[in-house]
Amino acid sequence: MADIDHRLILRDSGLFPEDAVIEKQGQFDYHLNDTKASISEPWLQYTTSTHTGTLSARIIEDAELIIYSDCRQRQDNGHLQIIIDWQYCQHSQFLARYYIRDNKLHWQVNRHHGQQPINDRQCFFPLMRVFMGSAVHALANGLCNELIVPDIRTLDDSDTVLRPYNSQRSASLIENEAILELANQSLTVEVFQYQSDIYQANAPARCFIDNDGLLRRYTWQQSPERNWRVDNQVFD
């Protein structure tokens, strides 16, 4: 299966600001047992006159599913706004908004809403791989010990989908200045072991993060028969 460039989907999503300037962009492509899977995550980082932002989407072609994730930070006060739009067959099923300010997380998912405290040892993780570099660094450097994550563990209960939940995760550096061969490039990366409450204890993931703090490769073993690799190609 050939790689498909899905970046235009982001610009046509309705989430991309009209006055935005793209600073960097790329795409994560998923491979199962070294075979290209029908899952990809295009992403772009942008700036506007008032915000810096990152917009990404998880596209699962076989399921006709797209999950958009847009994270914006105001330049004047640092307040964060995250929007996640879960679309099936091009129709929005779940629309979630999260606002982080004054040590509180305010959230709304469809008709449900609430708020909860967020402390300096917690980080919000907006689901997509493009946000993993900063999350792994924060965990490994002791800046946070818990991630707040939109809940996608089960879709059977629509009342819980995308509601924030506290997830215990950890990361540790296992190799510094490793060389990663990716898309005809030799990249210098740090390699981290990454563990979360959704992975088996004996099968942590590995994260390869470049000098700009971007995740460039992600590997984990879902089961003895299912080995995943996710590669991030950064485009000029």
Q: What confidence tens digit (pLDDT) does each residue in 168-182 have?
A: 999 999 999 999 999
Whole domain around residue 146: which residue ranges? 7-235
Higher-confidence residue of 153 and 56: namely 56
In a domain, 179, yes or no: yes
* Average pLDDT, rounded, for the chain: 92
Residue that the structure tokens 């960097």 belong to = 24
In a domain, 2, yes or no: no
| CA–CA gap between residue 61 and residue 204 (Å, rounded) | 27
- Token representation of residue 24: 């960097």
Q: Look at residue 199 in the predicted model and tell me its pLDDT.
A: 65
Residues 6+ apart with CB under 8 A from 88: 63, 64, 65
What are the backbone angles phi and psi of residue 2, rounded to the nearest 5°?
Answer: -75, 150
Binned at pLDDT 50, 70 and 90, residue 160 comes out as confident
**pLDDT greater than 50 at residue 161:** yes
92-117 tens-digit pLDDT:
899 999 999 989 999 999 989 999 99
Find, among 69, 124, 122, the residue nearest to 95 by Cα: 69
Find, among 171, 226, 217, 174, the residue nearest to 194 by Cα: 171
The pTM assigned to this predicted structure is 0.92
How many domains is the chain built from? 1
**pLDDT greater than 50 at residue 1:** no
In a domain, 184, yes or no: yes
Q: Let me know if 225 is exposed, middle or buried by CB neighbors in 10 A (0-12, 13-18, 19+).
A: exposed
**pLDDT greater than 60 at residue 3:** no
What are the backbone angles phi and psi of residue 125, rounded to the nearest 5°?
Answer: -120, 110
